[in-house]
Chain A
């Protein structure tokens, strides 16, 4: 059981470039989300989805787009990367039907924007 899989593990971008961070889960979880982790700030929610075809903004959505065409996948798109988006990104999923179940995290993607 792979759980939550994020690719790539590391990425370096130049300012203005675009890219997609991939996230896939094989646990049939309805809920998926993206967080960014910055030093001294903990993890902050970027976007989330409660099911296929449904997405919503979190605390820090600017500069990021998401879509949820399948239950398994929840990609995060940076359309025009900025140095302020240098961070570690985590995808997480949860069984939406069990309210007290915990989030399962992927292993993160370290993104550097120069």
Chain B
């Protein structure tokens, strides 16, 4: 079974600075998808960014980018120019690309990000 590990329960960053959230995963599969979800205090789950394992290029969405290291099974999220609205819990998630896996997501335990002035 796949596992996702987020080793940083809490992180803090100053406004306008850059922060990197870590995620590692364990799988024997070669094709899969990785996601970062943001959960603000409103409890809503918001997709931040996704990466397909067969793509070597790291995904980028505005101030959010990932460092995907397939061999190391690492998928870190970099937030540039941090804003107060970035304060939230961030979850890393894995999904197999195998047919028959029915779109199941395996989540990490989350990293709570604080943004300070």
From residue A61, how far is it (CB to closest CB) to chain B in Å?
13
Main secondary structure of the interface of B (DSSP, over half): loop
Q: A42-B109, A102-B50 are in contact. Are A107 and B44 (CB under 8 A)?
A: yes
A102 is contacted by which of B35, B44, B91, B97 (Cβ under 8 Å)?
B35
Query: How many angstroms between the C-alpha atoms of A26 and B41 in the bound complex?
Result: 25
Interface string of B30-45 (1 = CB under 8 A from A): 0001010000001111
User: Judging by beta carbons under 8 Å apart, are A96 and B103 in contact?
Assistant: yes
Is residue A1 contacting chain B, with contact meaning CB distance below 8 A? Answer: no
On chain A, the residues within 8 Å of B9 by CB distance are 40
Interface string of A89-112 (1 = CB under 8 A from B): 010101010011011010110100
A-B pairs with beta carbons under 8 A, tally? 51
Main secondary structure of the interface of A (DSSP, over half): strand
Is residue B19 contacting chain A, with contact meaning CB distance below 8 A? Answer: no
Query: How many angstroms between the C-alpha atoms of A75 and B93 in the bound complex?
Result: 24
Q: A42-B108, A99-B97, A100-B33 are in contact. Are A48 and B102 (CB under 8 A)?
A: yes
Is residue B52 contacting chain A, with contact meaning CB distance below 8 A? Answer: yes
- Going nearest first, the 9 A-B pairs with the smallest beta carbon separation are A42-B107, A105-B45, A43-B107, A42-B109, A108-B43, A102-B47, A31-B103, A94-B103, A50-B102
Binding site for B on A (CB under 8 A): 31, 33, 35, 40-45, 48, 50, 56, 58, 88, 90, 92, 94, 96, 99-100, 102-103, 105, 107-108, 110
25 contacting pairs across A/B (C-beta < 8 A)? A33-B103, A35-B105, A35-B107, A40-B9, A40-B109, A41-B109, A42-B91, A42-B108, A42-B109, A43-B91, A43-B105, A44-B107, A45-B105, A48-B103, A48-B104, A94-B103, A99-B97, A100-B33, A102-B35, A102-B47, A103-B47, A103-B105, A105-B45, A108-B43, A108-B44
Task: Please give 17 more A-B residue pairs, beta carbons under 8 A apart, in addition to A43-B107, A50-B102, A105-B44.
Answer: A31-B102, A41-B109, A42-B91, A42-B107, A42-B110, A43-B91, A48-B102, A90-B45, A94-B103, A96-B103, A100-B52, A102-B35, A102-B50, A103-B47, A107-B42, A107-B44, A108-B44
